[in-house]
A = this chain, B = another copy of it.
Amino acid sequence: MTEFIPPGTRWFDLPTAFPIKRGGALHGPRLAYETWGTLDTERSNAILIVTGLSPDAHAAANAGNPAPGWWEWMLGAGKPIDTNRWFVVCVNSLGSCKGSTGPASINPATGETYRLDFPELSIEDGADAAVAVVRALGIERLACVVGNSMGGMTALALLQRHPGIARSHINISGAARALPFSIAIRSLQREAIRLDPLWNNGHYSDDAYPESGMRMARKLGVITYRSALEWDGRFGRVRLESDRRDDEDPFGLEFEVESYLEGHARRFVRSFDPNCYLYLSRSMDWFDLGEGCAGTTAQGLAGIRGLERALAIGVQADILFPLQQQEEIADGLRASGCEATFLPLPSPQGHDAFLVDSERFGPAVRDFLAG
C-alpha cells in the first residue's frame, strides 16, 4: 500500500489503545499534522483546521514544506487566517492515507497492511483523534475550529464530544448529518471501486490496482463538487481539438468537460488509497449529530456547550452539502446559546468553492476571526 505523505509532516502518537466508536481499538495509531504561526503564552490563539475527505495536513506553505498547500490563499502571514496572529494546526484525518493511521497503514498486530481489517471508522473517531493532538500541544481551549466539507462534520462531532474545546467555530459547506442524495452519490462511488475486479476485496497492489473504479469514483465526485452553472460558462459545448481525441473509440472523449473530468481523475487515482477512500466515504454516510445525544440533529446542535460564536458558510450551487444544511447548523447552534451566523454565498463553483473562491471566502473568514 502506498501512503502519500507530504515532506515536513509531523506526527503525534495517539493514546493507545485508541478506542473506536463502533467497536474495537487502534494500537499505536498516529496522526499527521502541520502548524503555522506561534502559540501565545496564554495558549489562547490556536485554530484547528479539520479537512474534507482527500486533503492532507499541508494546508499552506510553512517552514517544514515551502510548497503551496491546498488552502494557500487562506492561510499565512496577512492572509484571512493570519498566522501573524494565530497559531494554526491542521490535521490529516484519521483513516486517511496522507500520514495518519488508516486502512493503508501497517497493523502492528499482524505486521500487514490493515486493508479491510481496519475497524469501522466514524466521523467521531476522527474528531477524538484531532482533539488528542490539540491537547498534546498544550491547548485547553481553541480560539476556533474550522471544518470544511467532511471536516464540517468532524468539527461538530468534536464540539459535541468535547464541551468547551473551542470558543468559536467556522463551518464551511458542512453538514450536521448526511442526507440521502449525498449518501446515494457516495454509495455509488464506493460501488464503482468495489466493482473493479482489481479492488479484490481490498487486496490490491500497486501493480494490480483498481484504477478504473477509482477513476469512476473521482469523476462522480468532481461532478458533484462543482456546479452546472460554472461549467456552462467554463466549458459550454466546446469540443476537444482533434489531436486530443481518439477517433478509433466511438464513445471516447469528445467534449472539453469530459477531458477535464478525465484529467482530474487521472491525477487522483494513484494519489489516494482506495480502501481509505471507502472508509472515509462511509463514515460520512453514518454521520448524524443527533446520534450523539440520542435525539434529533437539531437537538444535537442545540446541546453543544461552551461555544460563543459560530459562522456557517454555504454555497447556493452546492448539490452535495446543500445550503439548507448550513442554515440548519446556524439555527441549531443559535439554539445552543451561541451567537451563530448563516452566510450563503453565490459562488458559482458549488461544493468546492471554498477551495477556489478566495474573493468571497477570504473576507468572510477574515471578518469572523476579527470579530
Contact residues of A with B, CB < 8 Å? Answer: 116, 120, 177-185, 187-188, 190-192, 194-195, 197, 212, 216, 219-220, 223, 227-228, 231-232, 234-237, 250-251, 253-258, 261, 278, 282, 285, 288, 319, 322
Contact = CB atoms under 8 A, between A and B. Distances in A.
Given A194-B251, A251-B194, A319-B319, A180 B232 contact: yes
B285 A231 contact: no
Given A179-B232, A237-B288, A250-B116, A223 B185 contact: yes
A116 B282 CA distance: 38
Nearest to A249: B194
B258 A184 contact: yes
**Main SS of chain A's interface residues?**
helix
Nearest to A228: B181
The oligomer's copy count stands at 2
A254 B186 CA distance: 12
A323 to B, nearest CB: 11
B188 A237 contact: no
B231 A180 contact: yes
A288 B239 CA distance: 13
Contacts of A181: 223, 227-228, 231-232, 257
Contacts of A256: 180
A192 B216 CA distance: 7
What 3 A-B pairs come out closest when comparing CB atoms?
A181-B228, A180-B257, A180-B231
A225 to B, nearest CB: 12
Given A183-B257, A231-B180, A319-B228, A120 B223 contact: no
Nearest to A186: B258
Contact of A219 (B179, B188, B197, B237): B188
A278 B254 contact: no
Given A255-B183, A257-B184, A216 B191 contact: yes
A194 B184 CA distance: 22
A258 B282 CA distance: 13
A120 B219 CA distance: 26
B191 A231 contact: no
A315 to B, nearest CB: 14
B254 A180 contact: no
A289 to B, nearest CB: 12
A181 B230 CA distance: 9
Given A216-B195, A258-B183, A237 B116 contact: no
A38 B104 CA distance: 68
Contact of A235 (B116, B180, B219, B234): B180
B188 A236 contact: no
Given A192-B216, A216-B216, A288-B237, A184 B261 contact: yes
